[in-house]
Amino acid sequence: MSSSGRVVLVTGGTGLVGKAIEEVVKESNNNDRFIFLSSKDVDLRDPKAVREYFEKQQPTHVIHLAAMVGGLYHNMRNNLEFLRNNIQINDNVLQTSYDLKVKKVISCLSTCIFPDKTSYPIDETMVHNGPPHPSNFGYSYAKRLIDIQNRAYQEKGCETVFTSVIPCNVFGPWDNYNLEDSHVIPGLIHKLYLANKAGKEGIIFGTGKPLRQFIYSLDLARLILWVLDEYSDVEPVILSVDEQDEVQIKDVAELIAKSLSFQQPLKYDTTKADGQYKKTASNAKLRQLHPNFQFTPLETALDKSVKWFIENYDVARK
Ligand code: NDP
């Protein structure tokens, strides 16, 4: 037991966001005992194994990040798997936390689960206001159910605080750089890195025009730790950069190319899908509750991520 008495279990502790939390915790004078869980410790789809693990570790707080996560093309091919795996993982973690009277559970939704047809900016009240984009409906509905389940626990009048956060697109060290299954930034970093080495032009899927908000994983980690201490409402809170920091994919590609000192031209393969054109989210609630938070500038964060990928090429997930 830590001197604070808190035992914080981070599911998905080996992923992009989990690793960032680990790094931020290491840098701070945090007195909590953190446990970073991987699928090798326990398959969270297995209810018995989850129960046994929780009984052994006795977490007082849970940051629930574990999920089947992937980029546009991975989602489009595997909606059934995204739906079922994530429903199973979430139900096991939430129900076990409820049964064992964990004090607080923070789960992770995503801005990409919001309704496809909506007004902008999107805010926390709009999660269930219409069907998600068809490309990732499996992932989206599984995530939306976390919010529903949180509210159902609250209605029971239970002791556990169930809340959730809604990050925008995350990137940073320890990302998944797989060329087929990754999100846009790690995919672009890996692809342009290889093209640069081969002296080939950089091919970017889609038009490069869609707009996105990107948060650096270390910034998100700091905000999730703030939620752990300060935010206990069942209503979700969006953790995103400001609306004016939304950028086109092509701007991101150019910054990555700059960071790699990319020599060849960038070309756009417009036969490939763009996904949702934009999903601008409002961080007004976050700004109101935590007005002084400073986000790392995109160019700096991208440069750090590119450098991390190059330095850790052999161990990076790809
Ligand atoms: P990653 O894909 O980097 O990591 C996923 C984590 O989940 C890994 O630690 C993995 O363990 C674990 N995991 C997956 N399946 C299981 C399982 N069956 N049992 C136990 N553990 C499992 O995810 P991110 O860090 O990117 O995402 C963290 C959270 O943030 C997720 O809930 C995601 O939906 C959400 N989010 C992510 C965004 C992004 O852009 N990345 C955007 C918005 C929200 P192992 O390493 O052992 O495989």
pLDDT in tens, 267-289: 999 998 887 788 899 999 999 99
Instruction: Determine contact, residues 138/83, Cβ cutoff 8 Å.
Output: yes
Residue ranges for the chain with pLDDT beneath 70: 1-3
- Number of folded domains in the chain? 1
Q: Which residue has the tokens 């890195």?
A: 193
Write down the pTM of the prediction: 0.95
Q: Domain for residue 225, yes or no?
A: yes
Its domain, for residue 82, covers 7-172+213-243+281-296
Residue 288's Cβ-count burial label (10 Å; 0-12, 13-18, 19+) is exposed
In sequence order, the β-bridge partners of residue 122 are 281
Determine the pLDDT at residue 1: 53
Kindly report the protein residue whose alpha carbon is nearest to atom 31 of ligand 1. 65
* 132 Cβ inside 6 Å of ligand 1: no
248: in domain: no
Q: Is 26 within the bounds of a domain?
A: yes
Q: Are 173 and 307 in contact (CB under 8 A)?
A: no
Q: Residue 139 catalytic?
A: yes
Q: What is the pLDDT of residue 181?
A: 74
- State whether the beta carbon of 167 lies less than 6 angstroms from ligand 1: yes
Strands 214-216 and 169-171: parallel
The answer to whether residue 130 is domain-embedded is yes
Q: Is residue 253 part of a domain?
A: no
> How does pLDDT run across 103-136, given as a tens digit for each residue?
999 999 999 899 999 999 999 999 999 999 998 9
Ligand 1 atom index nearest CA of 183: 40
Cβ of 183 below 6 Å from ligand 1: yes
Q: How many CB atoms lie within 10 A of CB 3?
A: 8
CB atoms within 10 A of CB 97: 25
Which atom of ligand 1 has the smallest separation from the CA of 69?
2
DSSP state of 176: B
316 occurs within a structural domain: no
ipTM over 0.95: yes
How far is residue 41's CA from residue 198's CA, in Å, rounded to a whole number? 39
Q: What is the DSSP letter of 292?
A: T
Structure confidence at residue 275 (pLDDT): 78
Count Cα atoms within 13 angstroms, Cβ side, for 286: 27
- In angstroms, what is the span from residue 145 Cα to ligand 1's centroid? 17
Alpha carbons within 13 angstroms on the beta-carbon side of residue 22 total: 18
∠ Cα 75 140 110 (to 5°): 100
Extract the tokens encoding 112.
């990409």
Phi, psi of 226, rounded to the nearest 5 degrees: -65, -40
CATH number for the domain that contains residue 120:
3.40.50.720
Ligand 1 pocket, residue 106 CB under 6 Å: no
Q: Give the pLDDT confidence score for residue 128 in this predicted structure.
A: 98
* Cα of 255 from ligand 1 centre, angstroms: 26
pLDDT for position 72: 73
In a domain, 194, yes or no: no
Nearest CA to ligand 1 atom 35: 108
Contact 210, 279 (CB under 8 A): no
Q: 46 exposed, middle or buried (CB, 10 Å; 0-12, 13-18, 19+)?
A: middle
- Which of 53, 98, 139, 177 is catalytic? The answer is 139
CA–CA separation, 219 and 239 (whole Å)? 9
Cα 172 to Cα 300: distance, rounded to the nearest angstrom: 11
φ/ψ of 35, rounded to 5, equals: -120, 125
